[in-house]
Chain A
């Protein structure tokens, strides 16, 4: 019967990890603008770009030169 207690402890830990993931996703602003995210995923990026508020510094290098 003790095996049940171990399993329960394990399942709780997994569930808590899930809850933590949910907290992280809320904190990183993923629930702030559902429409924007739903559209953004369909854009074709030549290079993957992080959509987070903290700016990546390689902004200039990823600028394609075919515009000029």
Chain B
């Protein structure tokens, strides 16, 4: 029922648009916006497959968020006959469309999607096929094999635990033993191959990972069992081996559950358009793929389009929004002849530019290239698990050796058996599961609260942070919410209502701020209201013509000596002063900063001037911790300096100007209003409206670390019990078969319960209303 209504409203909307093309400004803009999809070269790059008049394409659609989205997109063939089939991949927010070229073009498809508000996200990166990842299903196969063998081996091992001694039973025991070996081979060498590979890789880099004792344990289990079964001396430990790998792989699978739809590794290519509008010498417009853009070319940039390369403005009036780059959303005015840097967005009528530098050499991309390669990034601390596993492996090897030597003197025939028993029982299965389950659990608690970490190891990085560096604009302040200051408004109070009635008709955040700041009064009727994009608003209120907006718009010039970010007012053509607008601070900023300030050293890095210094001083230890007028490179170097002093630095920023600093820090958090859209590469993405929970997240990461340590001690306890059996030469298969699953299951239970209690205590278990 609901779906029918939904489809009814959406399809009627669609037909309205197509019956009257150009009637709505939205559809007119659309008409130009996807022009580039008619370009043959771009089309070939975007399409996955095209043959015999049938094409297939995969899009990332950030707007997918609920079951109705799936239904609508998968029933798109009802809206257009050309679409044959569509499939949504919900967790990746992707949709695959198969369509007939003769009925609908690629551009038509994208415009259809945009008209039902599912505009796909097409960027330079999505065109680059090489960067696409394949879904990894490996862990499922390994888990399946391990589970299959685990069940069967347990079945075949069962008779050997019954103390029957009979010649016939002996025959069965032998056969079942052989079956167990056959089943044990795929478990040890297919399901377990990941541990051998990672242990070997670690050894090659002279590094002992937790996988090394596991690999040794697997080998000891396997060969000891093969020996026992073939020699007829015992039933072997195949059931323990299969169970061990089954549990370990569950841990691996749990660790691998990450946020597939979020991208943490963005570079400039994901911000840039696929194509630009080229203007030839004769003034004709044509579409040019971005990679063919050369210096000296003349291009057209329309409203809301991104400037792809450093260029000089040659025609039109630039009003460039650099919010991607700096986080500052107030547009910067540019006039003909001035230089415009790449990364800005034009807001206003179309402008024409002449390209000065190629895309890969512009200022913005240079910023990216300053960063070291991803492999070179090194944390200046060792993870908890690295330290533990190094000592653990050393202790186990020494114990095994010492016990072996001791037994050599007592009873040489049993020495080898005791040594393998130690290696088996010391296999740190429960230990290896503490990290994925506790940090993985914390990761999911954070995810429910709008804080998305790249992988579970980021939680450990968070728990070790002792210094927090904050960006100001866009991080501490909201990007689209203002406080209006009326001190410089030269209007009699009686005229306030003229202005208020005018801005009532505009939904622009600046107008809303002015409306809220003015005293309440009954609204007057407004005639001829016009909103000029990125300039201002005007209209006739009663008998007066009122204008509000930029200096150029209201007065025809920018008066000297007025601060940036003000709105000028004129009534019937006479200037009436100005209103200063300031970005509002985020909700709960005060509490968060004060509580973080108690435990962490706070620093501020702002690209702005120091006008806000006094307002923010109470949160920072000294004025020296607050740095203004910082360039992106300054920010990066500042973090580098802090880290070289041995600090564990967390950086919180939003724009591309923070990208270098985010990357350089131990834990870079990017804050975003829409997590599926633009965010620089980072370790975690925080939803902007959850900013006030930041100190709780930090606290939770510390609790999580304590849970890890607690459960590690718990699993050591099991290891000690097991070792005491092994060293005395009493480790029987049945002891091992009981001890091993018991330790794993109890450690996982302990962690799950502890994580739940911690989330309840920090109130992160409830999902807050938006």
Contacts and interface: CB of A to CB of B under 8 A. Distances in A.
Interface of A: 1, 4-5, 8, 11-12, 15-16, 18-19, 22-23, 26-27, 29, 31-36, 39-40, 42-44, 51-53, 55-57, 59-60, 62-64, 67
Given A32-B91, A55-B98, A59-B77, A1 B148 contact: no
B148 A18 contact: yes
Given A15-B151, A31-B137, A55-B56, A63 B91 contact: no
Contacts, number: 88
Nearest to A27: B137
Contacts of A51: 87
A57 to B, nearest CB: 7
Contacts of A52: 87
B533 interface: no
Given A32-B135, A60-B84, A53 B90 contact: no
Contacts of B90: 33, 35-36, 39
Interface string B71-95: 1001001110101110111111000
Contacts of A18: 148
Contacts of B148: 15-16, 18-19, 22
A60 B91 contact: no
A4 B172 contact: yes
B408 interface: no
Contact of A15 (B70, B78, B152): B152
B140 interface: yes
B152 A12 contact: yes
B207 interface: no
A1 B171 contact: yes
B1 to A, nearest CB: 10
Contact of B3 (A15, A35, A43, A55): A43
B92 A59 contact: no
Contacts of B77: 59, 62-63
A23 B88 CA distance: 22
B56 A26 contact: no
B179 interface: yes
B695 interface: no
Nearest to B1: A44
A34 B90 CA distance: 8
A39 B65 CA distance: 12
B140 A33 contact: no
Interface in B156-182: 156, 168, 171-172, 175-176, 179
Nearest to A12: B152
Nearest to A16: B148
Given A1-B171, A12-B152, A26-B140, A33 B91 contact: yes
A19 B56 CA distance: 32
B246 to A, nearest CB: 14
Given A1-B168, A22-B148, A57-B84, 5 more contacts: A8-B176, A26-B144, A33-B92, A35-B91, A60-B100
B81 A22 contact: no
Nearest to B103: A60
Of residues B87, B137, B156, which shows the largest number of chain A Cβ atoms within 10 Å of its Cβ?
B87
B78 A64 contact: yes
B63 interface: no
B145 A19 contact: yes
A50 B143 CA distance: 28
B96 A8 contact: no
Nearest to B137: A26
B144 A33 contact: no
A4 to B, nearest CB: 6
7 contacts: A1-B172, A5-B175, A16-B148, A22-B148, A32-B89, A33-B92, A59-B77
Shortest Cβ-Cβ A-B pairs, 9 listed: A59-B84, A36-B90, A39-B67, A55-B85, A55-B98, A26-B140, A19-B148, A35-B90, A22-B144
Nearest to B168: A1
A25 B67 CA distance: 23
Contacts of A5: 172, 175
Contacts of A4: 172
B89 to A, nearest CB: 5
B11 interface: yes
Given A33-B89, A33-B92, A63 B141 contact: no
A32 B88 CA distance: 11
A55 B340 CA distance: 47
Given A39-B67, A59-B77, A67 B87 contact: no
A13 B379 CA distance: 50
A24 B87 CA distance: 20
Contacts of B100: 60
B17 to A, nearest CB: 14
A44 to B, nearest CB: 8
B67 A8 contact: no
A31 B89 CA distance: 11
A36 B83 contact: no
Contacts of A64: 78
A53 B56 CA distance: 10
Interface in B34-78: 54, 56, 67, 70-71, 74, 77-78
A41 B157 CA distance: 41
B79 A67 contact: yes
A1 B3 CA distance: 62
Contact of B141 (A26, A40, A42, A59): A26
Contacts of A1: 168, 171-172
A62 B86 CA distance: 13
Contact of B11 (A29, A35, A67): A67
Contact of A23 (B98, B144, B155): B144
Contacts of B89: 32-33, 36
A48 to B, nearest CB: 13
Contacts of A34: 91
A44 B98 CA distance: 22
Contacts of A16: 148
Contacts of B11: 67
B81 A53 contact: no
A15 to B, nearest CB: 6
Nearest to A44: B3
A4 B91 CA distance: 47
Interface in B533-548: none
Given A1-B168, A27-B137, A64-B78, A59 B91 contact: no
Contact of B87 (A19, A53, A59): A53
Of residues A1, A5, A15, A59, which shows the largest number of chain B Cβ atoms within 10 Å of its Cβ?
A59
B259 to A, nearest CB: 13
Interface string B412-439: 0000000000000000000000000000
Given A4-B172, A63-B78, A67-B11, A36 B84 contact: no
Interface in B450-501: none
Nearest to A59: B84
A11 B154 CA distance: 13
Contact of A59 (B98, B135, B140, B179): B98
Nearest to B66: A39
Contact of A36 (B70, B81, B168): B70
Contacts of A59: 77, 83-85, 98
A36 B151 CA distance: 30
